């Protein structure tokens, strides 16, 4: 079941530097939601606050009504949150399948002792997880690469492997950090189709940080635009693209005045 995400007055400060200031929004269950803004706007920092890599200085992050700010990523996984990164962190000398299986680690039952002695229950769990991982690779067009070392794949395919790894966690809330970065047009189109399928078939809430406005316009139900750590506006992608404040934030006031 897709999760609800609520941010209320989230602040983040490093020393005397205010990175985020009073950021609030709600992502409804099943929405595809975009976080956009110019470089340095605070998008990735906000993602890090949601995913447990940063602890907000103030404010609340809630998943289905439970406050989770400051929780470790492993704890957030139990709340149904999974995340990809702008630069996929794969074990390049391991196979694609082995990389995907890392995403299911938190789902494996049994004590360390049970795994050390390889009880029948642990062997069954491992076999079932392996079958799930292979099915995810098949659904995402990567079954052919399952037994290849990850370093033999392109950057775009690395992103596909990382997505499969996140999906093996069985998320209800999926955070995608610049999934289209470095992808050619054809692979961006494939990514758009994949995210649409995930929402419809797997009942997942998706939040995307992305610079590729074509992808944002094609996918999202709503967006929040950040600028200098503050929420500049919230609405549809079309509303954001025509908002003078957003145009100014992206291209500068003088250029915006010239365009007008």
Q: Give whole-number Cα distances, 206 to 41, 54, 198, 245, in Å.
A: 20, 20, 9, 26
**Taking residues 225-246, what's their average pLDDT?**
92
Give the chain's domain count. 2
pLDDT of residue 92: 86
Q: Is 5 a member of any domain?
A: yes
Q: Is 68 a member of any domain?
A: yes
Report whether 87 contacts 80 (CB < 8 A). no
pLDDT of residue 258: 44
* Confidence check: pLDDT of 252 > 70: no
> Is 251 in the same domain as 175?
yes
Report whether 106 contacts 74 (CB < 8 A). yes
pLDDT of residue 147: 94
- Angle subtended at Cα 180 by Cα 14 and Cα 167, rounded to the nearest 5 degrees: 85
**Taking residues 125-143, what's their average pLDDT?**
89
Report whether 238 contacts 36 (CB < 8 A). no
| C-alpha gyration radius of the chain | 19
* Confidence check: pLDDT of 255 > 50: no
pLDDT of residue 229: 93
- Tens-digit pLDDT profile for residues 67-92: 999 898 888 988 999 999 888 888 88
> Is 163 in the same domain as 53?
no
> Is 97 in the same domain as 67?
no
Q: How confident is residue 107, by pLDDT bands cut at 50, 70 and 90?
A: low
Q: Is 85 a member of any domain?
A: no
Q: Where are the beta strands (DSSP E) in 136-219?
A: 173-177, 205-209
Report whether 66 contacts 244 (CB < 8 A). no
Report whether 34 contacts 223 (CB < 8 A). yes
**Taking residues 212-220, what's their average pLDDT?**
88
Q: Which residue has the higher pLDDT, 34 or 102?
A: 34
- Tens-digit pLDDT profile for residues 151-178: 999 888 999 999 999 999 899 999 999 9
| DSSP annotation of 4 | P
CATH code, domain with 6 = 3.40.50.300
Residue with tokens 């929780």: 71
Helices 185-202/155-167 angle, 10° precision: 10
Q: How confident is residue 259, by pLDDT bands cut at 50, 70 and 90?
A: very low
Domain that holds residue 154: 90-168
Q: How far apart are the C-alpha atoms of 223 and 209, rounded to whole Å?
A: 10
Q: How confident is residue 226, by pLDDT bands cut at 50, 70 and 90?
A: very high
> Is 131 in the same domain as 63?
no
Chain centroid to CA 239: how far? Answer: 23
């Amino acid at each position: 079941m897709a999760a609800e995400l609520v941010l209320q007055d989230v602040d983040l400060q490093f020393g005397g530097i205010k990175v985020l200031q009073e950021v609030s929004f709600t992502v409804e269950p099943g929405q595809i939601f975009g976080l956009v803004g110019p470089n340095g706007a605070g998008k990735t920092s906000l993602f890090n606050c949601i995913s447990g890599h940063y602890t907000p200085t103030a404010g609340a992050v809630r998943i289905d009504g439970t406050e989770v700010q400051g929780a470790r990523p492993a704890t957030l996984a139990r709340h149904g949150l999974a995340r990809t990164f702008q630069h996929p962190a794969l074990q390049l000398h391991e196979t694609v399948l082995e990389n995907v299986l890392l995403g299911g680690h938190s789902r494996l039952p049994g004590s360390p002792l049970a795994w050390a002695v390889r009880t029948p229950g642990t062997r069954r769990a491992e076999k079932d997880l392996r079958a799930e991982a292979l099915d995810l690779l098949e659904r995402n067009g990567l079954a052919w690469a399952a037994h290849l070392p990850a370093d033999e794949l392109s950057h775009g395919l690395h992103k596909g492997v990382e997505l499969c790894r996140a999906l093996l966690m069985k998320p209800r809330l999926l955070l995608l950090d610049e999934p289209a970065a470095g992808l050619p047009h054809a692979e961006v189109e494939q990514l758009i189709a994949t995210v649409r399928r995930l929402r419809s078939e797997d009942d997942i809430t998706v939040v995307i940080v992305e610079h590729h406005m074509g992808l944002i316009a094609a996918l999202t139900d709503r967006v929040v635009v950040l600028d200098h750590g503050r929420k500049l506006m919230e609405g549809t992608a079309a509303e954001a693209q025509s908002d003078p404040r957003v145009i100014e934030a992206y291209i500068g006031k003088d250029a915006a005045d010239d365009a007008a």
